[in-house]
């Protein structure tokens, strides 16, 4: 077996052990579930990935890989890849993202990328408890915000094995909170504007058996974020994924049809382990229909999506849409566009 393949499989095995150990540690400390901050970092911004239920650890490619598995950027074949998208979340919250990756000199020095993810939470009413008829005092409104700006790098070390990394400066401003009330009625406030550097790592290995791919990624490594009275970790996420065009096992022409299936196992810091499954049927390398499912979950149901991608004269143009059912909450819609050449 090729030396790179042996090394990659060994690293995959070790990271799998890390995921298992992480899960066991969380089993012993369940009381810490949901105690993380800057959750916007794990919002799925790309409509294609969301339509697949985020089962894209082994499927991500191009600049959007920076949000899922940066190693996927190492498979880029075009010089430039640009993507923008918006997610319409609950209660008028919006997540906007943009990414760009460049592959200079035919990838001789790897692929370089930049990413931006911003959250628009809108306006919130600020109140505090008080001995009034209403039981509270209205202090007006405030507008929390969050943003992450990153630089990424990926490289295909062989024709089968790629690695990548992504470093982000992330900042979240939750406004000022009232800590106490002085005798004269003045408020003692604490600032909730915090920033930290977060790091993502990933690898991708094409096995050589048809289109079967294994991949591993670890996201949101960072120090604790300190607030006035509490400290929180970022939402660390460890994922192992596999993908394959199952029509490779048939005699159906790949130029007309493809049916890619992705399966991910996910071990997060702040909630129980999940399995994610997604499928994408593509006709004539142009129209794609997608579906995905995540379990176990409390409210998230089916994920579905559609995409149209076409290359004309070396210019690639694409548009994607995804829908996610969230049960008692409102549904989530995502739309995005891509350009490559």
Q: Is 126 within 8 Å of 141 (Cβ atoms)? A: yes
Domains in the chain and their CATH numbers? 3-340 (2.40.160.40)
Q: What's residue 141's pLDDT?
A: 85
Does residue 315 sit in helix, strand or coil?
Answer: strand
Q: Is 154 within 8 Å of 73 (Cβ atoms)? A: yes
Question: pLDDT per residue over 34-61, tens digit each?
Answer: 678 899 999 998 999 999 999 999 999 8
At a CB cut-off of 8 Å and minimum separation 6, what does 224 contact? 231, 232, 233
Percent residues over pLDDT 70 in the chain: 90
Which pLDDT band, with edges at 50, 70 and 90, does 240 fall under? very high
**Distance between CA atoms of residues 11 and 216, nearest Å:** 9
Q: Are strands 161-181 and 225-226 parallel, antiparallel or unpaired?
A: unpaired
Q: What's residue 122's pLDDT?
A: 87
pLDDT at 6 exceeding the cut of 80 = no
Q: What's residue 124's pLDDT?
A: 84
Which residue has better confidence, 34 or 198? 198
Which 8-state DSSP code applies to residue 68? T
Mean pLDDT, residues 300-312 taken together = 92
- Number of Cβ within a 10 Å radius of residue 198: 21
Which pLDDT band, with edges at 50, 70 and 90, does 300 fall under? confident
The counts of H helices and E strands in the chain are 2, 18
Which residue has better confidence, 3 or 273? 273
Question: pLDDT per residue over 258-291, tens digit each?
Answer: 999 999 999 998 888 999 999 999 999 999 999 9
Q: Is 137 within 8 Å of 178 (Cβ atoms)? A: no
pLDDT at 144 exceeding the cut of 70 = yes
At a CB cut-off of 8 Å and minimum separation 6, what does 91 contact? 122, 330
- Number of Cβ within a 10 Å radius of residue 316: 16
């Amino acid at each position: 077996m090729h030396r790179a393949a042996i090394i990659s499989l060994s690293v995959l095995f070790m990271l799998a052990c890390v995921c298992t150990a992480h899960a066991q540690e969380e089993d012993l400390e369940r009381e810490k579930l949901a105690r993380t901050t800057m959750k916007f970092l794990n919002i799925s911004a790309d409509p294609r990935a969301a339509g697949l239920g985020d089962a894209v650890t082994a499927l991500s490619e191009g600049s959007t890989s920076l949000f899922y598995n940066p190693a996927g950027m190492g498979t880029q074949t075009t010089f430039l890849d640009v993507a923008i998208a918006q997610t319409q979340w609950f209660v008028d919250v919006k997540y906007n993202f943009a990414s760009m990756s460049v592959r200079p000199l035919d990838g001789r020095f790897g692929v370089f990328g930049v990413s931006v993810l911003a959250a628009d939470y809108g306006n919130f009413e600020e109140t505090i408890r008080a001995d009034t008829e209403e039981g509270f005092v209205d202090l007006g409104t405030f507008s929390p915000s969050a943003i992450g700006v990153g630089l990424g790098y990926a490289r295909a070390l062989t024709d089968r094995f790629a690695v990548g990394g992504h470093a982000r400066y992330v900042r979240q401003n939750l406004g000022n909170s009232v800590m106490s009330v002085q005798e004269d009625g003045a408020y003692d406030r604490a600032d909730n504007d915090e920033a930290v550097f977060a790091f993502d790592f990933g690898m991708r290995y094409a096995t050589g058996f048809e289109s079967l791919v294994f991949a591993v990624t670890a996201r949101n490594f960072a120090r604790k974020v300190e607030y006035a009275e509490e400290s929180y970790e970022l939402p660390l996420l460890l994922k192992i994924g596999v993908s394959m065009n199952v029509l490779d096992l048939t005699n159906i022409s790949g130029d007309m049809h493809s049916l890619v299936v992705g399966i991910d196992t996910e071990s997060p810091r702040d909630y129980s382990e999940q399995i994610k499954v997604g499928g994408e049927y593509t006709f004539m390398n142009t129209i794609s229909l997608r579906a995905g499912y995540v379990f176990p979950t409390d409210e998230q149901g089916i994920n579905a999506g559609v995409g149209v991608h076409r290359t004309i004269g070396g210019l690639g143009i694409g548009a994607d849409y995804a829908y996610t059912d969230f049960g008692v909450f409102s549904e989530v819609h995502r739309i995005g566009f891509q350009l490559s050449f």
